[in-house]
Chains A and B, each alone.
Chain A
Amino acid sequence: MKYMIMMLGDQATMMEVKSKEWIMDMIEFMGKMGTDLTESGELIDNRGLADPSQAKTVSIQNGIPVATDGPYAEAKESLAGYWLVDVESQDRAIEIAAVVVAFTKEPLEVRQVMDAPPQL
Chain B
Amino acid sequence: MTITPRIEDLLRELAPQVLGMLVRRYGQFDAGEDAVQEALLAAALQWPQEGVPESPRSWLVTVASRRLVDEWRSESARRRREESATALEPLGRGRPVDADDTLTLLFLCCHPSLSAPSQLALTLRAVGGLTTAEIANAFLVPESTMAQRISRAKQSIKSTGIRFDLPPESERADRLRVVLHVLYLIFNEGYTTSAGPALQRADLTTEAIRLMRMLRQLLPDDGEIVGLLALLLLTDARRAARATADGSLVPLAEQQRELWNTAQISEGVALITRTLGTTPIGPYQLQAAIAAVHDEAASADDTDWPQILALYEVLERVSPGPVVTLNRAVAVAMVNGPRAGLALLGTLDTIDSMTHNHRLEAVRGHLLELAGDAVAARESYRRAARMTASIPEQRYLALRAAQLG
Interface residues of A (CB under 8 A from B): 1-2, 38-45, 86-88, 112-120
Partner of A41, one of B150, B196, B394: B150
Partner of B141, one of A40, A86, A88, A117: A86
Chain A residue at smallest Cβ distance from B390? A115
- Alpha-carbon distance A63/B115, docked complex (angstroms): 52
Q: Are A118 and B140 in contact (CB under 8 A)?
A: yes
Q: Are B146 and A117 in contact (CB under 8 A)?
A: no
Q: Which residues of A contact B118 (CB under 8 A)?
A: 41
Partner of A86, one of B145, B150, B194, B196: B145
Q: Are A115 and B117 in contact (CB under 8 A)?
A: no
Chain A residue at smallest Cβ distance from B138? A118
CB-CB nearest 10 A-B residue pairs: A41-B149, A116-B391, A41-B148, A117-B195, A115-B390, A88-B115, A114-B391, A112-B389, A115-B192, A41-B152
Chain B residue at smallest Cβ distance from A45? B142
Partner of A42, one of B116, B145, B394: B145
Q: Which residues of A contact B142 (CB under 8 A)?
A: 44-45
Q: Which residues of B contact A1 (CB under 8 A)?
A: 389
- Alpha-carbon distance A87/B192, docked complex (angstroms): 16
Q: With A41-B118, A41-B146, A87-B117 in contact, do A118 and B152 touch (Cβ < 8 Å)?
A: no
Chain B residue at smallest Cβ distance from A119? B247
- Alpha-carbon distance A1/B192, docked complex (angstroms): 12
Interface size in chain B (residues, C-beta < 8 A):
32
Q: Are A44 and B247 in contact (CB under 8 A)?
A: no
- Alpha-carbon distance A43/B392, docked complex (angstroms): 25
Give a binary string over B261-282; 1 marks a CB under 8 Å from any A CB, 0 the rest: 0000000000000000000000
Say how far A25's CB is from chain B's closest CB, in angstroms.
26
- Of the A-B pairs whose beta carbons lie under 8 Å apart in the complex, a sample of 27, sorted by A's number, is A2-B140, A38-B145, A40-B152, A41-B147, A41-B148, A41-B151, A43-B145, A44-B145, A45-B142, A86-B141, A88-B115, A88-B117, A114-B388, A114-B389, A114-B391, A114-B394, A115-B192, A115-B193, A115-B389, A115-B390, A115-B391, A116-B247, A117-B194, A118-B140, A118-B193, A120-B247, A120-B392
- Alpha-carbon distance A116/B191, docked complex (angstroms): 10
Say how far A44's CB is from chain B's closest CB, in angstroms.
5
- Alpha-carbon distance A85/B194, docked complex (angstroms): 21
- Alpha-carbon distance A117/B116, docked complex (angstroms): 21
Say how far A72's CB is from chain B's closest CB, in angstroms.
22
Q: Are B152 and A39 in contact (CB under 8 A)?
A: yes
- Alpha-carbon distance A76/B235, docked complex (angstroms): 47
Q: Which residues of B contact A120 (CB under 8 A)?
A: 247, 391-392
* Chain A contact residues, majority secondary structure: loop
- Alpha-carbon distance A88/B147, docked complex (angstroms): 16
Q: Are A42 and B247 in contact (CB under 8 A)?
A: no
- Alpha-carbon distance A41/B163, docked complex (angstroms): 24
Q: Are B149 and A42 in contact (CB under 8 A)?
A: yes
- Alpha-carbon distance A71/B116, docked complex (angstroms): 40
Does residue B59 face the partner (Cβ distance < 8 Å to A)? Answer: no
Does residue B139 face the partner (Cβ distance < 8 Å to A)? Answer: yes
- Alpha-carbon distance A40/B147, docked complex (angstroms): 10
- Alpha-carbon distance A112/B145, docked complex (angstroms): 18
Q: Which residues of A contact B117 (CB under 8 A)?
A: 41-42, 86-88
Q: Which residues of B contact A42 (CB under 8 A)?
A: 117, 145, 149
Q: Are A44 and B389 in contact (CB under 8 A)?
A: no
- Alpha-carbon distance A21/B265, docked complex (angstroms): 66
- Alpha-carbon distance A45/B144, docked complex (angstroms): 11
Q: Which residues of B contact A114 (CB under 8 A)?
A: 388-391, 394
- Alpha-carbon distance A118/B200, docked complex (angstroms): 11
Give a binary string over B340-369; 1 marks a CB under 8 Å from any A CB, 0 the rest: 000000000000000000000000000000
Besides A42-B145, A115-B192, 6 more A-B contacts (Cβ < 8 Å) are A1-B389, A2-B140, A42-B149, A116-B247, A116-B390, A117-B194
- Alpha-carbon distance A39/B151, docked complex (angstroms): 9
Q: Are A41 and B392 in contact (CB under 8 A)?
A: no
Q: Are A38 and B390 in contact (CB under 8 A)?
A: no
Give a binary string over B135-165; 1 marks a CB under 8 Å from any A CB, 0 the rest: 0000111101111111111000000000000
> Considering residues A42, A114, A117, A119, which has the most beta carbons from chain B within 10 angstroms of its beta carbon?
A117
